[in-house]
C-alpha cells in the first residue's frame, strides 16, 4: 500500500493497489456495508459482476478501507444470493411466489393473534438496518402487529454503554465528539477495544497517541491493538476477563490519592462523588492487582499518562468497547470508567472526553428509532405518556393503542414457543442461531415456533431453519441513511438494481400490513419514510428534524441533535451542560462483582470471545467472500502453551472447548502472550465451530446485555 498527498488539501489518500488518487473516481458515493465507522467509498460499475470499490476521503476513514471494505462488492455477486421467496413444504425449503409467501405469513399472523393475542407474534431486528428500516420496523410491530414483542441484536452490542451514558450524562451517543478529535490526543485508554482488527481505519486517529507513548489498551489478550501500544512505548493492561470494574475503581482511587483529580471540575460540573468515593476508597491498588492481574505500576502509569495529556496538551480520551461491556455487570463497569473520566475532568471539555466505539454498521441509529423493546423514535421511552402522544400523532393512531415495553432480546428468544411466549417470529437483519448467547437453547426455541420468517439475502444459519425466507436487498441496492459511531447521519446510495425477485423490507412490511387489515400507511419510498422519521424524532433526545436528504446530498455533515434550534447539528455534546435535569454529570455508586459464572476444577478456564480482521459478526456475509475466508482460516481457540500442554494439546491439534451449556470444536493456536487462565474464541462460525454454544445468558439488570465475554470452560482432546 502506498500513500500519496493531494496537492490541494494535503490529505493522504491510501490506495490498495499501490496507486494513489487525488479525488474519487466517477461513480456512486456511499458508505461501507460493515462497522460503525461507516467508511466512505465510491462504487463504480453498472452490474454486480463489474462493480468495483474505491476509498473516498471522509473524516472517519481519511481515504482508507480495511480488507472487508475492499472486498465488500463480492457480497453482491455471491453465488448463493437468494432471488426467490422460499416456503417450507414437506420439511424442505422450496421456491415460491411472493404472493404465496406473503399469504403464508399474513395468514399465520392473523390466525395466531386471533387465538393467542397480539404478543403471540414477535419481531427481531438488526443493527445493520438503515434508519428508515429500523424506524419502519418499530412502527410495523406496534401499529400493524400491535405487539410489544420487538427487540434486536443491538441489545448485544451497545446496550450497556448506552445505559451507562444515559445514567451518567443523561444521553447516549457513542462518541459525543467527532472521531477526528481523538487524532489530537496524546493519551488514549482503550477498554476492551481492538480496532486494529475490528475497524482498522480507526487507527489513523490513534497515531499521535501511539507515537507519544500514550496509547493504552485494557484487554485480556495481547491483541494487535495492544501490540501497537507496546511498540510505541504505551501500555497493555492485561486484566482477567470480568474484572474491568475493579480496574476502573482502582484507577479512580489512584487518580484521587495521587493528586490527579480535577477538583474544580468535580465541584462545578458533577454530582454524587461523595456516594462513589467510599466504595472506590476500598479499592487499594494492591487489592486491584490481586483481582485483575494488572500491576500497580502499570495502573499508576496509565492514570499519570491521562492526567499529563489532559494538563499539557488537552488531549486525553477514554474509550470503551465490547470487551468491557459484554458482561452481566457491563452497565456498572462502564459507569465506573465514566467515573474515572469525570474525576480527571475529561467529559464535556474540548480535547478530552469519554466515548464508546460502536460496532455494528448502524448500531447508533438502529437503537434510536424504535427497534428496542422499550423505545419509540427519537430515543424516546415507550412508557412516557408525552412520548407516546407525540409519536402516535405522527402515526395517526390513538396513544392507548400503542403497546408497552416488551421483552429484551435474549428474553424474547428464550420465550419463543413456550406457554405465554410468541409463536410466530419475524427476523430482519440478524442471525441469532450463531450470534445469540447460549445459542443451543436459542436454536431449540426457534425450532419450537409455529412459524419462523427470515428476511435475508443469503441462507444464513437462521434462514436455513425458517419456514419462510424472503429475499431482500443488499446494501448497494438500496437508498437510505445510517448514523455512525459519532452520531453523524450519512447517506447510503443505490449503485445498482437488485436482482429480479428481491424486494425491500419496506415493501414487505407495507404488503403484510395491508394483508392483515391494517389501514395505517406504510410508505415504501425511503425518502418518504425518513421525512416521517424526522417528524417522529422531533423534540426527542435523538432529534433528526432538521436533517434532510437534500442537505446530506449537498455534502453537509450533520450530527444529531439537529433541529430548528440547532440546524447545523451538534458535533460536540456537553460543552456547556450535560443532558441531565440539573446539567451536571453524575457519579453513580457502583462496585465490582465479577463474572456471573465462576471457574472451578471441572471448568478451570475463562473463555472470552471476539472478532477477527477478516470477519464480521456472525460471518454470514464475510464467509461468502473467498479472499476473507482464506485469510481468516478455520475456527480456532487461542491458548497459552502451558494450558494446552496440561491437557496434552499442541499447536494445530483439534480440541473441544466445553462449557456447562455445550461444546465447540476448534484448532488449537498456541500463543505465549495469552494469560494461562484464559482462552479466546472468535464467534464468526456456525455448526460445531459455533463459539456461542459455550456462552451463557446471565443478563445485566439494567441493559439486559448477556455476558458474552466470560464463561467457564475446559479443554478436551479430540481422538
Digit-coded pLDDT (tens) for 32-46? 999 999 999 999 998
Beta bridge partners of 716: 656
Question: Domain 159-360 is in which class?
Answer: alpha beta
Fold of 92-157+362-472+504-541: Rossmann fold (3.40.50)
Cβ atoms < 10 Å from Cβ of 717: 14
The pLDDT confidence band at residue 192, using thresholds 50, 70 and 90, is: very high
Q: Where in the chain is the domain with CATH 3.40.228.10?
A: 159-360
Give the three cell numbers for residue 306.
491521562
Q: How confident is the model at residue 313 (pLDDT cuts 50, 70, 90)?
A: confident
Section 617-644 average pLDDT:
95
* Tens digit of each residue's pLDDT (9 = 90 or more) over 205-248: 999 999 999 999 999 999 999 999 999 999 999 999 999 999 99
- CATH 2.40.40.20 boundaries in the chain: 605-717
CATH number, span 605-717: 2.40.40.20
Each residue of 96-131: b (16+ CB within 10 Å) or e?
bebeebbebbbebbeebbeebebbbbbbbbbbbbbb
In 459-530, DSSP assigns E strands to 468-471, 480-483, 488-492
Nearest CA to 246 among 589, 588, 591, 598? 591
| Pairwise CA distance, residues 411 & 407, whole Å | 6
Per-residue pLDDT at 361: 85
Q: Which three cell numbers stand for residue 262?
A: 480535577
User: Half-sphere exposure of 618 toward its Cβ, with a 13 Å CA cutoff?
Assistant: 26
Q: Is the pLDDT of residue 588 over 50?
A: yes
Report the chain's mean pLDDT, rounded to a whole number.
Answer: 94
Nearest to 495 by CA among 32, 160, 13: 32
Residue 559 near residue 570 (C-beta atoms within 8 A): yes
3-state secondary structure of 274: helix
Sequence-separated (6 or more) residues with CB below 8 Å from residue 66: 39, 199, 200, 201, 613
20 has pLDDT over 50? no
Look at residue 669 in the predicted model and tell me its pLDDT. 98
Residue range(s) in the chain whose domain bears CATH number 2.20.25.90:
2-77
Residues of the chain with CATH 3.40.50.740: 92-157+362-472+504-541
- CATH of the domain spanning 2-77, picked from 3.40.50.980, 1.10.600.10, 2.20.25.90, 3.10.20.600: 2.20.25.90
**pLDDT above 90: residue 23:** no
Amino acid at each position: 500500500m502506498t500513500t500519496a498527498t493531494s496537492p490541494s488539501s494535503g490529505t493522504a489518500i491510501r490506495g490498495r493497489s499501490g496507486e494513489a488518487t487525488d479525488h474519487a473516481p466517477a461513480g456512486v458515493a456511499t458508505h461501507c456495508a460493515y462497522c460503525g465507522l461507516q467508511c466512505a467509498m465510491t462504487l463504480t460499475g453498472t452490474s454486480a459482476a463489474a462493480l468495483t470499490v474505491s476509498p473516498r476521503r471522509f473524516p472517519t476513514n481519511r481515504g482508507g478501507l480495511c480488507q472487508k471494505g475492499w472486498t465488500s462488492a463480492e457480497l453482491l455477486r455471491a453465488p448463493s444470493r437468494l432471488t426467490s421467496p422460499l416456503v417450507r413444504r414437506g420439511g424442505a425449503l422450496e421456491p415460491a411466489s411472493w404472493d404465496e409467501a406473503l399469504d403464508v405469513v399474513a395468514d399465520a399472523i392473523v390466525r395466531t393473534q386471533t387465538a393467542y393475542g397480539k404478543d403471540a407474534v414477535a419481531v427481531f431486528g438488526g443493527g445493520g438496518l438503515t434508519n428508515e428500516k429500523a424506524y419502519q420496523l418499530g412502527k410495523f410491530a406496534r401499529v400493524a402487529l400491535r405487539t410489544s414483542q420487538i427487540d434486536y441484536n443491538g441489545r448485544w452490542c451497545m446496550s450497556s454503554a448506552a445505559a451507562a451514558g444515559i445514567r451518567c450524562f443523561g444521553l447516549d451517543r457513542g462518541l459525543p465528539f467527532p472521531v477526528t478529535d481523538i487524532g489530537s490526543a496524546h493519551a488514549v485508554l482503550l477498554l476492551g477495544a481492538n480496532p486494529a482488527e475490528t475497524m482498522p481505519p480507526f487507527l489513523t486517529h490513534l497515531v499521535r497517541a501511539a507515537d507519544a507513548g500514550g496509547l493504552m489498551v485494557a484487554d485480556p489478550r495481547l491483541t494487535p491493538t495492544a501490540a501497537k501500544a507496546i511498540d510505541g512505548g504505551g501500555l497493555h493492561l492485561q486484566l482477567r476477563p470480568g474484572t474491568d470494574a475493579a480496574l476502573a475503581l482502582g484507577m479512580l482511587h489512584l487518580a484521587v490519592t495521587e493528586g490527579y483529580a480535577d477538583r474544580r471540575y468535580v465541584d462545578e460540573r458533577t454530582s454524587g462523588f461523595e456516594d462513589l468515593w467510599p466504595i472506590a476508597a476500598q479499592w487499594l491498588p494492591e487489592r486491584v492487582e490481586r483481582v485483575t492481574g494488572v500491576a500497580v505500576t502499570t495502573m499508576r502509569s496509565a492514570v499519570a499518562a491521562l492526567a499529563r495529556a489532559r494538563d499539557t496538551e488537552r488531549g486525553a480520551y477514554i474509550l470503551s468497547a465490547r470487551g468491557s461491556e459484554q458482561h452481566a455487570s457491563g452497565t456498572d463497569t462502564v459507569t465506573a470508567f465514566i467515573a474515572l473520566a469525570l474525576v480527571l475532568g475529561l467529559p464535556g471539555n474540548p480535547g478530552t472526553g469519554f466515548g464508546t466505539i460502536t460496532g455494528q454498521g448502524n448500531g447508533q441509529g438502529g437503537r434510536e428509532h424504535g427497534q428496542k423493546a422499550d423505545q419509540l423514535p427519537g430515543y424516546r421511552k415507550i412508557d412516557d405518556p408525552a412520548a407516546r402522544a407525540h409519536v402516535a400523532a405522527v402515526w395517526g393512531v390513538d396513544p392507548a393503542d400503542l403497546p408497552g415495553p416488551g421483552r429484551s432480546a435474549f428474553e424474547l428468544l428464550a420465550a419463543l414457543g413456550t406457554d405465554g411466549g410468541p409463536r410466530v417470529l419475524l427476523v430482519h437483519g440478524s442471525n441469532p442461531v450463531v450470534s445469540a448467547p447460549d445459542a443451543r437453547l436459542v436454536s431449540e426455541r426457534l425450532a419450537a415456533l409455529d412459524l419462523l420468517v427470515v428476511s435475508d439475502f443469503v441462507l444464513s444459519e437462521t434462514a436455513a431453519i425458517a419456514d419462510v425466507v424472503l429475499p431482500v436487498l443488499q446494501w448497494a441496492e438500496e437508498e437510505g441513511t445510517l448514523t455512525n459511531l459519532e452520531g453523524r447521519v450519512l447517506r447510503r446510495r443505490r449503485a445498482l438494481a437488485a436482482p429480479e425477485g428481491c424486494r425491500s423490507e419496506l415493501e414487505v412490511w407495507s404488503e403484510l400490513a395491508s394483508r392483515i387489515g391494517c389501514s395505517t400507511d406504510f410508505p415504501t419510498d425511503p425518502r418518504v419514510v425518513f421525512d416521517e422519521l424526522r417528524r417522529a424524532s422531533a423534540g426527542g433526545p435523538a432529534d433528526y428534524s432538521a436533517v434532510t436528504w437534500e442537505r446530506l446530498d449537498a455534502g453537509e455533515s450533520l450530527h444529531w441533535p439537529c433541529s430548528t434550534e440547532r440546524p447545523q447539528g451538534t458535533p460536540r455534546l456537553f460543552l456547556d451542560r450535560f443532558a441531565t435535569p440539573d446539567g451536571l454529570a453524575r457519579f453513580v455508586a457502583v462496585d465490582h462483582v465479577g463474572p456471573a459464572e465462576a471457574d472451578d476444577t471441572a471448568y478451570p478456564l475463562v473463555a472470552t470471545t471476539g472478532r477477527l480482521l477478516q470477519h464480521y459478526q456472525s460471518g454470514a456475509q464475510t464467509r461468502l467472500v473467498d479472499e476473507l475466508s482464506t485469510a481468516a482460516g478455520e475456527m480456532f481457540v487461542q491458548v497459552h502453551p502451558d494450558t494446552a500442554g496440561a491437557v496434552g494439546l499442541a499447536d494445530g491439534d483439534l480440541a473441544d472447548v466445553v462449557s456447562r451449556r455445550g461444546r465447540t470444536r476448534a484448532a488449537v493456536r498456541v500463543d505465549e502472550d495469552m494469560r494461562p487462565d484464559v482462552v479466546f474464541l472468535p464467534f464468526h462460525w456456525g455448526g460445531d465451530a459455533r463459539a456461542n454454544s459455550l456462552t451463557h445468558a446471565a443478563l445485566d439488570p439494567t441493559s439486559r446485555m448477556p455476558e458474552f465475554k466470560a464463561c467457564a470452560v475446559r479443554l478436551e482432546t479430540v481422538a
